[in-house]
Chains A and B, each alone.
Chain A
Amino acid sequence: SAVISQKPSRDICQRGTSLTIQCQVDSQVTMMFWYRQQPGQSLTLIATANQGSEATYESGFVIDKFPISRPNLTFSTLTVSNMSPEDSSIYLCSVEKARQETQYFGPGTRLLVL
């Protein structure tokens, strides 16, 4: 498995502002992902964070709204830009190690936009 931490664990933000969420893993991983879980809903994949190149976004998500960085094999950030109340969600990062075909999740960042 992997030990994954996220910062911040929760935040309350004003509309129009941006928040950057950090995801740190205790070991090198091949794949890192960012998910959104809206209140009472299941998880939706936002993007795959690629080390050294641009993230791969799922349908309905764009780089201008959710810029992602992955400077190395243990760290990634997701920024939620120009926030609106509809962005209030839990944001989770997950990781997958080579040949394990299993994703492990961080504790999540609970975001409330007023």
Chain B
Amino acid sequence: GNSVTQMEGPVTLSEEAFLTINCTYTATGYPSLFWYVQYPGEGLQLLLKATKADDKGSNKGFEATYRKETTSFHLEKGSVQVSDSAVYFCALSVGNEKLTFGTGTRLTIIP
């Protein structure tokens, strides 16, 4: 079956620090990979996605590269802000099948 293993949190960083949240996956078939973000008290928002190997998804300064050889899709940002504090979910889907989510990583940025 499909599964997503995500770096456990919570993660606390100082403002302007470098962020990495690890995500690895197993999938039957060729998955599309996603990062979703959930800000406090809100629903999920799509942050970025990649649909094939070596694709890089990017948005709001965040980046993630689809690495087929390591089955990974790590989320990175060079300089985090307080407003980036949220819960981040890595997810995958194969074709039109359901999304499979990781457990989520709570990120807190302190000024």
Report which A residues bind B (CB closer than 8 A): 1, 6, 31, 33, 41-43, 45, 48, 58, 90, 92, 94, 96, 101-108
Contact = CB atoms under 8 A, between A and B. Distances in A.
Given A31-B96, A92-B44, A101 B51 contact: yes
A102 B101 contact: no
Contacts of A94: 44, 99
Interface string B48-61: 01010000000000
B12 interface: no
A42 B101 contact: yes
Interface of B: 32, 34, 36, 42-46, 49, 51, 89, 93, 95-96, 98-99, 101-104
Contacts of B44: 43, 92, 94, 105, 108
Contacts, number: 50
A43 B101 contact: yes
Nearest to B99: A103
Contacts of A108: 42-44
Nearest to B6: A42
Contacts of A90: 43
- Most B CB within 10 A of own CB, among A1, A58, A90, A106: A90
27 contacts: A6-B43, A31-B96, A41-B103, A41-B104, A42-B101, A42-B102, A42-B103, A43-B44, A43-B89, A45-B98, A45-B99, A58-B98, A92-B43, A94-B44, A94-B99, A96-B96, A101-B32, A101-B96, A102-B32, A102-B46, A102-B49, A103-B99, A104-B46, A105-B36, A106-B43, A107-B42, A107-B43
